[in-house]
Amino acid sequence: MNIVNQIEDILKDDVLFNLIKDRPKLYDILIHEDYLQTINTKQYYPLSEIAIFFNATDGQIRYYIKPFFDYIFLDEEDTPLSETIIRLSFKSLLRVRMLLLLKEEFRVKGLKQVLEHTPKFIQRSSSEDNKPAVNNDEIMHIVSQILQSGIYELSNEDGEVQVKLSPKLSEALEYNKDERLRLEAENQKILVDLQATQETLKNIKNEHINFFKDKETYAEWEIEAAEEFEKKNNYGALAKLFKRDAIEIEKKKFILEYIKTKKETKL
């Protein structure tokens, strides 16, 4: 039996094949394609090879396999399938080819309507169209869990139920916002004071360096002042971590006063 006769025999009861036969141009393509000259009709073929047969892409083949799975694999219980690998028999391969040949005319919706004469395909399509609705008890359980968290609460305004943030959470968020703004303002003030103190010290330092020919004198006073500040202010690790800028300001001011005093004594 030649390949044309085999195709005729395999697809004799196929609805799409009857449409193909009514379209001589498509029928001629189906039975005279180059791959038919070397194909092994007993072998299963991966999508990559089938795409080459049909001058298509893997994606195009997969696109039509998904909605027409039970038509393509009708009576193909032994077809090697997995989540990532699909291999088609010669019969399934022919069905994919007919879908591709008719897609321009019928599209997916039209092809599904044509395949109403294929019982197994109808059964799958009906089950997909009639998926069970979401369980209301599950929804209520989820809503209950959300409300019990204390983050949200239900309110009834003008007969309409609304979900809002709980007042306690809103107050906490508002308090945190005000506290953050206060801390930012305080930190900004500290930075301004620190910059002013550093500028003053810079001017005094230049003045002292010009006043004293021996520059080491000022450096010694600065070291002495820093050591004296550390002795008088024994800050702990936490204070140094969280009040670093404020401590730095106090230290600069102490050094400033110390140098002023030394200068006056020197004069």
Q: What is the pLDDT of residues 30-41, one digit of tens each?
A: 999 999 999 999
* pLDDT tens-place string over residues 113-164: 888 766 555 444 444 444 444 455 566 666 666 666 666 666 666 656 566 6
Strand 152-157, strand 45-46: pairing: unpaired
139: Cα separation from own chain's centroid:
25
pLDDT at 214 over 80: no
pTM for the model: 0.45
SS3 177: helix
* pLDDT tens-place string over residues 66-117: 888 888 887 655 565 655 678 889 999 999 999 999 999 999 888 988 887 6
CA–CA gap between residue 180 and residue 172 (Å, rounded): 12
What's the confidence (pLDDT) of residue 128? 47
* Of the candidates 233, 222, 232, the residue with the CA atom closest to the CA atom of residue 255: 222
CA–CA gap between residue 142 and residue 161 (Å, rounded): 17
Query: Could you give the residue ranges of the DSSP H alpha helices within 22-57?
Result: 24-31, 47-53
Considering the chain, what is the average pLDDT of its residues? 77
